[in-house]
Amino acid sequence: MTTTVDLEQETNPWQAQAARFDLAAHKLKLDEGLWKVLRSPSREIIVHIPVQMDDGHLEVFTGFRVQHSIARGPAKGGLRYAPDVNLDEVRALASWMTWKCAVVDIPFGGAKGGIICDPHKMSRGELERMTRRYTAELFEFIGPEKDVPAPDVNTDEQIMAWMMDTYSMHLRQTCTAVVTGKPVNIGGSRGRREATGRGVLMVCDQAIKKLRLNRDSTRVIIQGFGNVGSNAARLMAEAGYKVIGILEVGGGLYKKDGIDMEALWEFRQRNGSIHGFPGAESRDPDELLLADCDILIPAATENVITSQNADRVKCKILAEGANGPTTAAADDILSEKKVFVIPDILANAGGVTTSYFEWVQDRQGYFWKESEVNERLGDIMVAAFDHVVRYSETHGVNNRIAAYMLAIDRVAYTIRQRGIYA
């Protein structure tokens, strides 16, 4: 692919995941029937949710839940609230969850949900009513053994608490295992909030070992300072990495010797933004994304690195904290540049892995210490990194296609064992 690719087609998330899937399936010589089974979601649910707004008028919101696969266990995946949510995006994210769970070898399939809304323009009461009605509409399709939602873009512990309570009210018993990412006092897991960022740190540690770099001289730029970006930044700085750049919508920060992450975190907590932080110089975010560094971590949205800018990326390691930040066309350019890519379905799998731990703890009614959660997370992330790199070297493909091949192989193997019910 070249830079003449139609950008709108290139940035369609469903087409992006299908392109990677098709290439990996072809390399695996996957049976045509299984190819068809795994290429499509198993179930797509669309609900229209009437909500009484604070001023008394009724609004109808459209919500989705896509379950891509339940071959290896219950479907698992987040719920996002955003004005630009659409079915193609939710489909793509659901399939990425299937592959992500298979890469780290946890017993879940993939799902994703979303509601088209602007949560920043809604009151707490409106969000609660919308969340509860959405949960009620999905009651027969979700559950600890069916489909386990979690937080994603613009959703949090409180949204999960409302979902858990609504499901429990319909079930007539408290069921904490129906969602993950809950507050700790109602069945959440210690370490869950930091888990995705911690997983990014863990795979970066493995990558610098492989490339023979040292933490204290490794320069890191992070795009996004939400849950994933901020936790990755703080944990990496604490571990000795030099975080020289942070960029968000509307502005970026740069400091050659490394930004004081705890000071920036406190500034963000006080001011609600990183802009105006006195401990670093402000930079244009588009320039900062392409600045010279050792590790670049896109940890915000999809389609940040495309055929339009991939040739100007100046990092040795690209660790994808976000889902789908790199397009399929950009992959080819990064491969030519010999950038070591840690793909999203591996790099950000710390979140779903610790969600799995939360589900396990809820179901057994026994909760682990945070140190135990982090230790188990480390075991899984390091093993998954090693499997992907070995697969890449064995099959002569880049890390992303290797991760897809590993995941597809595991899911296809399970389907062959189970057989097709007819």
Same domain, 73 and 132: yes
For 13-23, write each residue's pLDDT tens digit: 888 888 899 99
Average the pLDDT over each of 12-21, 82-91, 314-323 and give the range with the smallest value: 12-21
Residue 11 has pLDDT above 90, yes or no: no
Domain boundary among 120, 143, 175: 175
Question: Does residue 169 lie within any of the structural domains?
Answer: yes
Neighbours of 195 (CB within 10 A): 29
For 140-192, write each residue's pLDDT tens digit: 999 999 999 999 989 999 999 999 999 999 999 999 999 999 999 999 999 99
Residue 289 has pLDDT above 90, yes or no: yes
Same domain, 33 and 62: no
Same domain, 277 and 203: yes
Q: Is the pTM of this model over 0.85?
A: yes
For 177-188, write each residue's pLDDT tens digit: 999 999 999 999
Same domain, 46 and 195: no
Residue 1 has pLDDT above 80, yes or no: no
Instruction: Tell me the C-alpha distance between 115 and 137, whole Å.
Output: 13
Same domain, 59 and 86: yes
* Catalytic residue IDs: 112
The sheet with strand 219-223 has its strands ordered as 281-283, 251-254, 242-248, 219-223, 295-298, 317-319, 340-342
Same domain, 137 and 236: no
Question: Does residue 220 lie within any of the structural domains?
Answer: yes
* 2 confidence band (pLDDT: 50, 70, 90): very low
Structural domains counted in the chain: 2
Residue 218: which CATH number?
3.40.50.720
Same domain, 80 and 206: no
Domain boundary among 175, 208, 243: 175
Residue 57: which CATH number?
3.40.50.10860
Question: Which residues constitute the domain of residue 98?
Answer: 41-175
Question: Does residue 221 lie within any of the structural domains?
Answer: yes
* 246 confidence band (pLDDT: 50, 70, 90): very high
